[in-house]
């Protein structure tokens, strides 16, 4: 259940960004999670709901961009979508895949709602 | 309700509030890898190993594939040839560390409690306590788990995934991330091949499909068959001792 460690890391990153911005709370958070990134979304959602309690992300709207896996065949240079590392090239049948995308796991943006006293 | 000052926005207007404030929204481009903190510490460990010319290996497998048995054999057979250190990762107990200790090797046990993997931070603290000598070999035996440890860089030079013939030959397909991120695959318990339905050729084919660069070494820690290949690989990775 590494999803909870992932959620806790996201909260750490977000809280540090909010502090840098001078305080407030997160209104929205946008994540890139590739389909090849070993994150089980069901487990992630469960961990998310538990993890954000009492944090600056408690009321944040979560947006997850699922980045589809894409590979390049090193035999025939074809670029094609993959769901698994072991998917073969649809043209030449080879397994010499170079992963181009799908392993993303990052915090893209945070919308911070801050209070400015005047 | 206003989440910032606690005032109830439906009963009075915000702008009449006695300490006049306004809410502003700001979008911050973070673009930060979620495992950034672990990766930084992993690189820190890597720098430590490189500076001291230590070969660090991360041993990963499912529980019961023979990580500790392989270490016991290796530490005993190569005693005197290299300086070894071992970091043991388990949820509970010091049983594995006790087995390593019995071979006369310096060992530190990390108990992860509920955790399912070692991370770079735990390894960093273990290193601070061990203070390994330069020009040595550091084995880090991860928690028995083919899923989570694949995501956490510990700063190792080589990642060795171990599977055994008492498991299914389709392990590489079922847990592709681990096989994809490893630099050597050891197939253990080959002495049991006559008694189990494990298909060695199929296993190698699956390994190639997931990671075409992954070399495979077949061993039996019980009979010692194939261990010379493993020792040969290990010696080829040990860096030449630096002149003082």
Structure confidence at residue A118 (pLDDT): 44
Closest CA to B85 of B112, B118, B49: B49
d(CA B198, CA B165): 6
pLDDT in tens, B55-108: 999 999 999 999 999 999 999 999 999 999 999 999 999 999 999 999 999 999
Contact B156, B123 (CB under 8 A): no
Nearest CA in chain A to B180: A85
CATH of region B36-237: 3.40.50.300
Structure confidence at residue B215 (pLDDT): 98
Which residue of B9, B15, B34 to mutate against A (max A Cβ within 10 Å)? B34
Q: Do B27 and A110 touch (CB under 8 A)?
A: yes
| Domain limits, chain A | 3-67+103-113
Q: Do B209 and A107 touch (CB under 8 A)?
A: no
- Strand, helix or coil for residue B129: helix
Neighbours of B174 (CB within 10 A): 13
Q: What is the mean pLDDT of residues A8-34?
A: 95
User: If interface means Cβ-Cβ distance under 8 Å, which residues of chain A face chain B?
Assistant: 1-2, 5-6, 9-10, 12-14, 17, 21, 24-25, 27, 31, 36, 38, 59, 84-86, 88, 95-97, 105-118
User: The CATH number of A3-67+103-113 is which of 3.30.565.10, 3.40.50.11260, 3.30.2320.50, 3.40.1390.10?
Assistant: 3.30.2320.50
Which residues share a beta bridge with A101?
A70
The chain-wide mean pLDDT, for chain B, equals 90
Nearest CA in chain A to B175: A38
pLDDT in tens, B141-177: 999 999 999 999 999 999 999 999 999 999 999 999 9
| Domain limits, chain B | 36-237
Q: What is the mean pLDDT of residues A53-64?
A: 96
Closest CA to A1 of A35, A36, A39: A39
Contact B145, B119 (CB under 8 A): no
Q: What is the mean pLDDT of residues A109-115?
A: 91
What separation in angstroms does the CA of A74 have from each of B1, B52, B68, B148, B180? 57, 37, 37, 28, 16
Contact A25, B30 (CB under 8 A): no
Choice among A24-38, A63-77, B8-22 with the minimum mean pLDDT = B8-22
Does B191 score more than 50 pLDDT? yes
What separation in angstroms does the CA of B151 have from each of A11, A82, B118? 18, 20, 10
């Amino acid at each position: 259940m590494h999803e909870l460690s992932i959620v806790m890391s996201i909260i750490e990153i977000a809280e540090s960004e909010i502090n840098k911005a001078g305080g407030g709370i997160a209104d929205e958070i946008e994540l890139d999670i590739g389909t090849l990134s070993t994150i089980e979304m069901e487990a992630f959602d469960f961990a998310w709901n538990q993890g954000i309690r009492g944090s600056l992300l408690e009321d944040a709207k979560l947006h997850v961009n699922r980045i589809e896996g894409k590979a390049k065949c090193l035999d025939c240079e074809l670029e094609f979508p993959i769901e698994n590392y072991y998917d073969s090239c649809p043209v030449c049948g080879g397994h010499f895949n170079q992963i181009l995308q799908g392993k993303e796991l990052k915090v893209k943006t945070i919308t911070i709602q801050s209070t400015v006293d005047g | 309700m206003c989440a910032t000052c606690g005032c109830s926005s439906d009963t009075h207007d915000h702008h009449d509030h006695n300490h006049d404030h306004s809410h502003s929204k700001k979008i911050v481009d973070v673009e930060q890898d979620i495992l950034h903190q672990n990766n930084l510490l992993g690189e820190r460990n890597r720098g430590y190993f490189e500076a001291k010319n230590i070969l660090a290996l991360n041993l990963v497998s499912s529980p019961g594939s023979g990580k500790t048995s392989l270490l016991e054999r290796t530490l005993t057979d190569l005693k005197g040839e290299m300086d070894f250190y071992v970091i043991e990762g388990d949820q509970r107990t010091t049983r594995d560390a006790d087995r390593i200790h019995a071979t006369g090797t310096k060992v530190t046990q990390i108990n992860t409690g509920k955790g399912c993997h070692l991370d770079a931070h735990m390894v960093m603290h273990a290193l601070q306590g061990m203070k390994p000598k330069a020009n040595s070999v550091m084995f880090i035996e991860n928690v028995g788990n083919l899923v989570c440890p694949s995501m956490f860089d510990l700063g190792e030079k080589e990642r060795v995934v171990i599977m055994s013939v008492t498991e299914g030959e389709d392990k590489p397909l079922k847990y592709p991330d681990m096989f994809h991120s490893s630099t050597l695959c050891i197939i253990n318990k080959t002495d049991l091949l006559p008694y189990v339905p494990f298909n060695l050729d199929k296993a190698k084919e699956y390994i190639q499909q997931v990671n075409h660069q992954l070399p495979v070494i077949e061993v039996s820690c019980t009979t010692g068959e194939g261990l010379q290949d493993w020792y040969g690989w290990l010696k080829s990775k040990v860096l030449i001792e630096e002149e003082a």
